[in-house]
């Protein structure tokens, strides 16, 4: 009896074809990965290599050696061969195997790894040439195909350039292979030095060849942030935004101090050492828009860069800093400093960060780290808003149901009471989904974390804990770039942090005793875009029998300047005072007349004021405010040189002001800039006359240039100093030369004029103008005197006292 022919369903054919394609693709990928890999560890006898890197390389060997790859490991340093070999052998003695590996197998693998590892001195160009010849000879002798080479730079950055030059000239693998160069932080000291270093390395290596390591990205809880967000998209989709997130805390606390490392710490401090890199990277993973494919390195890196582009600039008031009391003594001892030396390097810092985009506008991100604190722990905590009111008493609240209990998601990076990496999700949020490499965990009885018992969380920990460097070495081997810092992202980070670092360079940190004795001394609060210590006390510049006075201890000074009221203070207090005065003037004007007309100058001095008004004055009557410009450069409004562009970047985009109440100067008409025949000045004058009663602004904010100019009214130029014109075209001695400006007669019609003068560079002109009479043609600022209004000078101590 003949069997009936088997009838293939069209869907089965499709399934068979897909399976065959997948199998073929797998074979091709395996073939692509197979080959010999040479790994050269530079700085092979250093602390990092001994503590982490050799163990990480051994783990890489255990993971990959059975998959068709062959390896050779070259430990390299400047040390002479005999001594170097002894030091490296000592470092390799501590290699360990996974707990589930049989001792006999472990011994066998360790023996194989040791046979593949050798030390060599890499000091001269000839040494690198010899290394290259040895690798090629080994390949030829064993008949191996070379897959690629990894050079791991576990050396100080000053050595990078020479090593990079030698690798590029002598040690590049041949065609059809890859080169991967691994770089350890620090990647510069500020934006300028980071740019210099990046440029140097860029002359020797392609961007895709460089892997900048931030070991925090290899921490299992940190590496889980994006996969967790991706796997729980549905649950988090409606929660991950400013409507539901109260704040985000990203923290790394240490109990150890900087003893033995003060030479490094004096140069970098806690912000450069931890916040600029580790904590900022965690911030980007939490805040970035989630790509459709989180496995795409290109998409992940692009979305991280978008976070940097949305970060609001930091001010000095965005941060608080501290220093444990014995630090200066340690520096004096280790660096042979005189007894009178007292360091200003912070060992503790907290920074308030805001992200100006639709998802995160208004949500505070708090980054905090320090040494000599009460515990060692790291975490990223997302605290959700709680708008529930529960009628029953707390004893009836069920963890999985009650919305009155705290709602939080915590990526517990390590250490602390929990003692291991973990992901914690409040049971009243949602039950999370995690990969099979994570398991539900139970902690010790009675353990409380972030204000709640552990039983109030869905808690997960890795099935197998792995060291961060081990994870990252695996990613380097497989060419996964998303776990590393690109040049573009590095420079974006330094661009964000450098202004704050410069502003804090001479700020005395709050001293704290260290450990449990800190008590509440470092507790802090945040309000109106600023951080401040909860316990206010005069800060001490140097230890002594009594507290030394600090700038913040001085009261705002009120006096007279050119027969008009003068307000003088340190820059931060001055800006705060001026912002408060402007708000008070605005509130009075709106109460009396229903609107407030404010004319603002451009330049660098008012930037801090704009930021203060944008972030700390929620009672400002923006809906009834008209904004005008005092002067404008003859450039398109979108040009970075434009005063309006500065106003837009630092103020307008952050406040709710009707667009029809914003009045930029018409410098760009008929595709021309400040052409007389376009009558831009006359157009602006007519607009002022139509909207501002009696053409009298409620408040005009001016500055004073080092040559005595104000607005865009310049010495030795009569334009705009008298006459009937309200708005004029002028010529500046500096580029761009053409300007549009309110005239002096129009400025003097104002109800109030505030002149803001800041910085030591203004000290000379401040002294000079204090002595001159009414000479506007020589010193235009001397012509500012409102006919029936008030003139108030606002000067910081640098400008007023020098």
Q: Which residues are catalytic?
A: 278
CA atoms of 301 and 409, how far apart (whole Å): 24
- Cα distances from 308 to residues 228, 617, 787, in angstroms, run 22, 25, 48
Smallest Cα–Cα separation from 712: which of 558, 560, 601?
A: 601
CB atoms within 10 A of CB 699: 22
DSSP state string for 528-571: TTEEEESS-----SS-SSSPPP-GGGSPPEEEEETTEEEEEE-H
**CA nearest 160: which of 87, 212, 85, 216?**
212
- Candidates 428, 370, 371, 424; CA nearest to 399 is 428
Q: What is the 3-state secondary structure (H, E, C) of 773-786?
A: CCCCCCCHHHHCCC
Q: Compute φ and ψ for 628, nearest 5 degrees.
A: -120, 160
Phi, psi for 656 (deg, rounded to 5): -95, 90
Bridge partners for 531 per DSSP: 526
Q: Which of 376, 190, 347 is nearest to 270 (CA)?
A: 347
Q: Which residues pair with 422 in a beta bridge?
A: 412
User: 184: which strand partners?
Assistant: 213
Residue 49 tokens, joined: 């290599």
Tell me the C-alpha distance between 618 and 527, whole Å. Answer: 11
| C-alpha radius of gyration, the chain, whole number | 32
The C-alpha atoms of residue 401 and residue 201 are separated, in whole angstroms, by 55
- Residue 270 burial (C-beta neighbours within 10 Å; 0-12, 13-18, 19+): buried
The count of residues in the chain is 802
- 152 by DSSP, 3-state: which? strand
Are the C-beta atoms of residues 201 and 210 closer than 8 Å to each other? yes
Question: Which residue carries 């506008």 as its tokens?
Answer: 361
Report residue 757 as tokens.
């003068």
Taking Cα atoms as reference points, which of 216, 234, 212 lies closest to residue 225? 216
Round to whole Å and give the CA distance between 370 and 372: 7
Contacts (Cβ under 8 Å, ≥6 apart) of 660: none
- Residue owning tokens 């490296």: 88
The enclosing H or E element of 375 equals none
Question: Where in 416-509 does DSSP place strands (E)?
Answer: 422-426, 438-440, 448-449, 452-453, 457-462
795, 568 in Cβ contact below 8 A?
Answer: yes
The token pair at 533 is 């210590």
Phi, psi angle pair for 38, to nearest 5° = -100, 125
């Amino acid at each position: 009896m003949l069997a009936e022919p088997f009838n293939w369903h069209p869907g089965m054919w499709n399934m068979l074809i897909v399976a065959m394609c997948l199998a073929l693709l797998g074979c091709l990928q395996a073939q692509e990965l197979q080959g010999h890999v040479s790994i050269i560890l530079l700085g092979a006898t250093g602390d990092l290599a001994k503590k982490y890197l050799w163990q990480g390389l051994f783990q890489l060997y255990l993971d990959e050696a059975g998959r068709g790859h062959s390896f050779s490991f070259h430990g390299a340093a400047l040390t002479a061969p005999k001594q170097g070999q002894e030091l490296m052998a000592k470092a390799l003695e501590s290699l360990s195997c996974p707990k589930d590996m049989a001792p006999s197998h472990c011994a066998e693998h360790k023996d194989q790894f040791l046979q593949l590892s050798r030390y060599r001195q890499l000091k001269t160009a000839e040494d690198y040439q010899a290394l290259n010849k040895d690798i090629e000879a080994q390949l030829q002798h064993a008949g191996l195909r070379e897959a690629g080479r990894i050079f791991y730079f576990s050396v100080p950055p000053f050595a990078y350039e020479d090593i990079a030059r030698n690798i590029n000239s002598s040690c590049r693998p041949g065609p059809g292979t890859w080169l991967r160069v691994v770089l350890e932080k620090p990647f510069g000291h500020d934006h300028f030095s980071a740019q210099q270093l990046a440029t140097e390395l860029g002359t020797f290596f392609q961007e895709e060849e460089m892997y900048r390591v931030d070991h925090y990205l290899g921490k299992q809880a940190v590496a889980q942030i994006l996969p967790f967000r991706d796997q729980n998209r549905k649950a988090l989709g409606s929660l991950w935004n400013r409507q539901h997130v109260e704040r985000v805390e990203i923290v790394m606390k240490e109990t150890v101090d900087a003893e033995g490392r003060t030479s490094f710490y004096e140069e970098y401090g806690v912000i450069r050492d931890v916040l600029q890199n580790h904590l900022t990277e965690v911030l980007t993973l939490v805040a970035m828009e989630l790509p459709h494919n989180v496995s795409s390195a290109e998409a992940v890196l692009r979305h991280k860069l978008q976070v940097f582009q949305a970060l609001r600039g930091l001010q000095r008031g965005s941060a608080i800093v501290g220093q444990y009391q014995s630090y200066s003594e340690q520096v004096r001892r280790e660096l042979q400093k005189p007894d009178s030396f007292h360091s200003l390097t912070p060992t503790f810092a907290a920074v308030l960060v805001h992200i100006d985009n639709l998802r995160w506008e208004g949500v505070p991100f708090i980054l905090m780290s320090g040494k000599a604190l009460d515990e060692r722990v790291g975490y990223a905590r997302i605290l959700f808003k709680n708008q529930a009111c529960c009628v029953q008493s707390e004893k009836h609240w069920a963890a999985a149901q009650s919305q009155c209990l705290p709602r939080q998601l915590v990526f517990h990076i390590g250490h602390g009471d929990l003692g291991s990496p973990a992901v914690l999700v409040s049971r009243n949020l949602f039950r999370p989904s995690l990969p099979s490499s994570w398991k539900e965990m139970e902690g010790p009885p009675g353990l409380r974390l972030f204000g709640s018992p552990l039983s109030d969380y869905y808690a997960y920990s890795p099935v197998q804990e792995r060291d961060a460097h081990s994870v990252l070495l695996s990613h380097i081997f497989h060419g996964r770039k998303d776990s590393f810092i690109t040049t573009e992202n590095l420079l974006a980070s330094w661009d964000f942090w450098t202004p704050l670092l410069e502003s804090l360079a001479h700020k005395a940190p709050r001293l704290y005793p260290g450990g449990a004795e800190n008590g509440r001394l470092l507790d802090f609060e945040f309000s109106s875009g600023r951080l401040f210590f909860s316990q206010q006390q005069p800060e001490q510049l140097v230890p002594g029998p009594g507290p030394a006075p600090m700038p913040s201890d001085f009261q705002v000074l009120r006096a007279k300047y050119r027969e008009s009221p003068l307000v003088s203070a340190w820059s931060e207090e001055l800006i705060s005072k001026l912002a408060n005065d402007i708000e008070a003037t605005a509130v009075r004007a709106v109460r009396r007349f229903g609107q407030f007309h404010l004319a603002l100058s451009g330049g660098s001095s008012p930037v801090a004021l704009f930021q203060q008004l944008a972030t700390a004055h929620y009672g400002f009557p923006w809906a009834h405010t008209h904004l005008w410009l005092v002067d404008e450069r003859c450039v398109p409004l979108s040009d970075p040189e434009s005063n309006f562009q500065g106003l837009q970047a630092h103020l307008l985009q952050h406040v709710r002001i009707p667009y029809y109440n914003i009045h930029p100067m018409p410098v760009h008409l008929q595709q021309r800039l400040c052409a007389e025949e376009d009558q831009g000045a006359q157009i602006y004058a007519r607009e002022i006359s139509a909207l501002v009663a009696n053409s009298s602004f409620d408040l005009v904010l001016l500055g004073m240039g080092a040559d005595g100019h104000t607005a865009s009214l310049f010495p030795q130029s009569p334009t705009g100093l008298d006459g009937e014109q309200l708005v004029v075209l002028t010529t500046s001695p500096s580029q761009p030369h053409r300007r549009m400006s309110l005239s002096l007669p129009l400025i003097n019609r104002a109800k109030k004029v505030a002149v803001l003068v800041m910085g030591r560079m203004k000290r000379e002109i401040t002294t000079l103008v204090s002595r001159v009479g009414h000479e506007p043609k020589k010193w235009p600022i001397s012509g500012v005197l409102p006919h029936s209004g008030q003139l108030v000078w606002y000067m910081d101590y640098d400008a007023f006292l020098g």
